[in-house]
Amino acid sequence: MGTAPGRPVMRGLGGERLMILQDGERTGDVSSQSSDHAVSLDPMSAEEIQIARGPSALEYGSNAIGGVINVVRNQVPSSHPDHIHGTATLQGESVNTGGAAGIELLSPIAKNFAFKIDGNLRSARNTETPKATLENSGIFSTNNSVGIGYIRPWGH
């Protein structure tokens, strides 16, 4: 399995006792059911990661006793940018000869419209140790999205 299907543990609790959300909604994956399933979201595309633990986590339900991790992406723009914004990210890994790359672009496209596009790529070979190679531990994944927002002059 390698590092690809890793799932967070908070205060020693994981699985069904730890809730993972994306923009406040459940991710809908089966990563809490079995250790060979990966979490369906990519933290590289996150603008912010929010953590709730202790009594505040129970706001999300009784099965969140271990805590709540909310990955905020803000894929659909909620404010009109003044100009084009962009970011690029590169990461490297040595134990499995892997890496990741990501790009994000936010742009105004009309008076009340904004456009956001992002894409991420992660690739790694099998994990190698001095004793052996861990077979079937490599990964290749992509995460791409496009969002268009209509920004009203009133409300939110």
Q: What is the set of domains in the chain, with CATH numbers?
A: 15-72 (2.170.130.10), 85-150 (no CATH)
Q: Of all helices (H) and strands (E), which one includes residue 108? A: strand 98-110
For every one of its 156 residues, what pLDDT tens digit does the chain have, with 9 covering 90 and above? Answer: 555 657 788 888 877 788 889 888 888 777 767 666 667 777 788 889 999 988 888 888 887 888 999 999 888 888 888 999 999 999 998 878 899 999 999 999 988 899 999 999 999 888 888 898 888 888 888 989 999 999 887 755
CA atoms of 120 and 88, how far apart (whole Å):
10
Q: What angle do CA 73, 74, 77 make, to 5 degrees?
A: 150
Contact 16, 65 (CB under 8 A): no
